Amino acid sequence: MKKVYKKILFLLVMMVALSTGCKKDIAKEQEAGNPLQPRIFDILRDFSGAQIINEGDTAKFNGIEITPAGKADVSWMVDGKEVSKDKKFAFAPARGGEFVIKLKVSYNGDSSVRSTKVLVNPSTYTFKPYTKIAMTYLTQDATAANVNFNNVTHVAYKIGLVSPEGDLDTSPGEAGQKAREIVARAHIAGVPVIMGISGRLSGIDGWAIYETNDFGTAIRDAAKRTKLVGLVKAYVAAKQMDGVDIMMTDINSGNAPDNIHAIGPFLTQLKAALPAKAIITVTVTTNYQHWEYPDLSAATWVNLHTFEDNIHIGPDAQVGQSSSLAFMKEGAEKWTNFHLPASKLVLGVPAFGLRYNALNGAGNNESWGSYDYMTYKAILAADPTAFGKEFTDKSGKGVYYSGVQLVTLKAGYIKNNGFKGGYVWAGDYDTQDANSLMLALFNGIK
């Protein structure tokens, strides 16, 4: 009986061994015949968008899982050059710039690839030289895609909204890291970025709304003014911006004179708080209230709102061009005659137009509610030939605006009369093609 049991036990062991060997062989055959496609799982969404860092910081790619685990070959590349074979990767650039990060995972001859970009704001940068300022002034809705950095010398970004309490809302610039990207791309291109601060309410022209006193209320009060200066200083430092533009537009109220007078002490206090090399500018009106402005010679320069004359709106107003060359000249001459030399003044050009939606029997504007404004790029969408004109009838009852030809004439006036430069409001209303108003201004004044 013992011999029988031994034989049975031997046979069982052999059967198990043969069975195990078959399974291993089958697994190999299946793997060879049906190779597993390598996959990359971006657990922390490291590849969902560009990372924006400052020079000296590190972009980390730690949330990556790979299949088949432990079998696939890993290759991390920076601008096409392999730099690591580990599953995790930390990129610590030695300079500013834009870098392409690519992860390639290979197995059995097949590959999967993920790529993204890392934008590095340089710690030191040199501003490109210029003869005249050609500045794009962006609204809080703008992104870096709204700027061609080859066509500008400066960027102003209206990202600080001032409340009557002296608080500063900069939240629009945090969405999608818009502020950080604009600063990083500008500095890589050698272009300074100026933080625009204004009241919370403004129209498409970025200017005054009736009976608003947000900004004025804050800077008329010494304690609130000090609070606001501290907040502005902190934001400029945190975002590595190069200065501030004071766009105090509370001039359509009973407090307008006091609001305007308060710009003086605010400018003085802000200038003392920011670094000595900081650019500090003021954007001002050219209407009858120009008399109210204090001495602004301490500013690096002053931006003149030399567009939108406001005489072609309202009931029975005659339709027409509200941002003519003549209006620019008139406003500029007020300031050169009574305030500052042309070398301290930067003149504004609009990237929007006045549209009439209803006219009365005389062919004039019907009422206060019968007109509005269109961005330049919306005008071109309605009429692709509009770039070469000042009027189009392809929207509403017609739109008056500054086209390429008129902006070129304005640029010639700026260049030939000793002004410091010009700016376009707003850069995100403009196009980024050959019909760009910023491009026309840049070419016209250089």
pLDDT, tens only, 51-108 = 999 999 999 999 899 988 888 999 999 999 999 999 999 999 999 999 999 999 999 8
pLDDT at 8: 46
Q: Give dist(CA 392, CA 396) in Å, integer.
A: 9
Q: Is a pLDDT exceeding 50 seen at residue 116? A: yes
What integer is the mean pLDDT of 209-228?
A: 96
Q: Is a pLDDT exceeding 90 seen at residue 226? A: yes
Which domains are delineated in the chain? Answer: 39-121 (2.60.40.10), 133-445 (3.20.20.80)
Per DSSP bridges, beta strands 421-425 and 133-138 are parallel
Tokens representing residue 261 in the block: 């007078």
Contact criterion met (CB below 8 Å) for 87 and 41: no
Nearest to 242 by CA among 281, 195, 286: 195
Tokens representing residue 64 in the block: 């990556």
Tokens representing residue 378 in the block: 């919306």
Q: Give dist(CA 310, CA 292) in Å, integer.
A: 19
Stretch among 84-88, 146-150, 265-269, 378-382 having the lowest mean pLDDT: 84-88
Q: Is a pLDDT exceeding 60 seen at residue 7? A: no
pLDDT at 224: 98
pLDDT band at 202 (very low <50, low <70, confident <90, very high): confident
Q: How far is CA 316 from the centre of its chain?
A: 39
pLDDT at 17: 46
What integer is the mean pLDDT of 155-159?
A: 97
pLDDT band at 337 (very low <50, low <70, confident <90, very high): very high
pLDDT at 408: 98
Q: Give dist(CA 402, CA 350) in Å, integer.
A: 7
pLDDT at 67: 87
CA dihedral 401, 404, 409, 414 (to 10 degrees): 90
pLDDT band at 310 (very low <50, low <70, confident <90, very high): very high
pLDDT band at 49 (very low <50, low <70, confident <90, very high): confident
Q: Is a pLDDT exceeding 80 seen at residue 32? A: no
CA-derived radius of gyration, the chain: 31
Q: Is a pLDDT exceeding 90 seen at residue 20? A: no
Please give the residue that has the higher pLDDT: either 25 or 219. Answer: 219
Q: Is a pLDDT exceeding 80 seen at residue 173? A: yes
pLDDT at 146: 98
My answer on whether omega of the bond before 386 falls inside 30° of 0, hence cis, is no
The phi and psi torsions of 269 (rounded to 5 degrees) equal -70, -40
Q: Is a pLDDT exceeding 90 seen at residue 159? A: yes
Stretch among 2-11, 315-324, 325-334, 377-386 having the lowest mean pLDDT: 2-11
Question: pTM of the full predicted structure?
Answer: 0.89
pLDDT band at 25 (very low <50, low <70, confident <90, very high): low
pLDDT at 387: 97
The single-letter code of the amino acid at 227 is: K
